Amino acid sequence: MTEILNAKQLKDRASLVDLLANLGYSPARKSGKELMYRSMLRDDDINPSFAVDDAIGGWYDHGTGKGGNIIDFGLKYWPLLTFKEVVSKINEVLTGSIQPVSDHRIKRARVRRKVPYFIVSEIKSIGTHPAISNYLKGRGVFEVGAGLLFEVYYYVDGVQPQKEFFAAGWQNENGSWEVRNRYFKGCVGTKGISFIAGDEKKLAVFEGFMDYLTWKIDNHDAEHSILVLNSLALLAAGIAKARQFSHIDIYFDRDIRGHQATQELISVLPYATDKSVAYEGFNDYNAMLIAFIRQKDSFVSTEQTKKKTI
């Protein structure tokens, strides 16, 4: 591609699938007209939840509840670049991938599609649904989660026949529900950070709620206020909330994006401390707990087998 396209031209002519391919991302599977990717905007997307419909030039990240066009994606993917720099960057990455428009070429139609809208039908205390209980027990947070986690039952508005979904969930500052189960990680409503008031000076900051609950097991007497980002995309909102505290402990994932987020927070609030050494050797706090549970279960199983053979 020799010509430089402006923002409107990129929206009309550029392929988000081509952009992702040139960035090194391939779809994990296809769902109807949509290609499903493991979100490149988050590090915690185990099950592909980043949907792309190239026919309409749109994307939607079920984990953050955000979506848009190719420009919107660029602004999320390169958050430190200005709007003009993002347009330039997309042109650079797509060099050779956009075909020039000729008189006989039919311009791709951009059709508006309704973003999935979840409706909460019921909230229950955990311990009612066995699948949710087993999921939380597998992550080691069933008991500590009492009163903090709930069973959230919800469905997609306007879809017939209506199908109800269920997951473990907790509320964010917008009153919406962050939900998790074995197969899905997302938000029912508007994505936001979660805050639990405690000590007015001490704050513990986490990427995810499961990490917070794991920390709570190890620090059951701690009185810190708690801030859970629910997504690194909400780091700026988290930093704004953290400014009111004079003692800040950071427990982000021990991966590239987690490290970058930790450094960004410390650059703004230099007195904040990286505490991720607490789970050194693991990607996050809860991953360490899960590994311990599996090791314990394996030991018990081995001992039971030995006992049967005696």
Whole-model pTM over 0.85: no
Mean pLDDT in residue range 60-87: 88
Alpha-carbon dihedral 84, 79, 191, 261, rounded to 10 degrees: -170
pLDDT of residue 33: 79
Strand, coil or helix: 106: coil
Assign 81 a pLDDT band (cuts: 50, 70, 90). confident
Q: What share of the chain is helix, strand, coil (3-state, %, to 5)?
A: 35, 25, 45
Residue 308 lies in a domain: no
Check whether residue 78 and residue 16 sit in a common domain. yes
pLDDT of residue 1: 42
Check whether residue 137 and residue 232 sit in a common domain. no
**Lowest mean pLDDT across 59-63, 163-167, 253-257, 282-286:** 59-63
Domain span at 228: 193-301
Check whether residue 243 and residue 274 sit in a common domain. yes
Residue 83 lies in a domain: yes
Assign residue 253 the CATH number of its domain: 3.40.1360.10
pLDDT of residue 101: 44
Distance linking the first and last C-alpha atoms of the chain: 74
The total domain count for the chain is 3
Residue 110 lies in a domain: no
Question: Of 93, 125, 143, which one is at a domain's C-terminal end?
Answer: 93
Long-range CB contacts (< 8 A, 24+ apart) of 27-34?
27/52
Question: Of 142, 170, 188, which one is at a domain's C-terminal end?
Answer: 188
**Lowest mean pLDDT across 99-103, 123-127, 189-193:** 99-103
- For 178-224, write each residue's pLDDT tens digit: 999 988 888 888 889 999 999 999 999 999 999 999 999 999 999 99
Check whether residue 254 and residue 203 sit in a common domain. yes
Question: Of 188, 223, 241, which one is at a domain's C-terminal end?
Answer: 188
- For 133-166, write each residue's pLDDT tens digit: 999 999 999 999 999 999 999 987 776 788 889 9
Sheet with 247-251, side-by-side order of all strands:
194-196, 225-228, 202-206, 247-251, 273-274
Assign 26 a pLDDT band (cuts: 50, 70, 90). confident
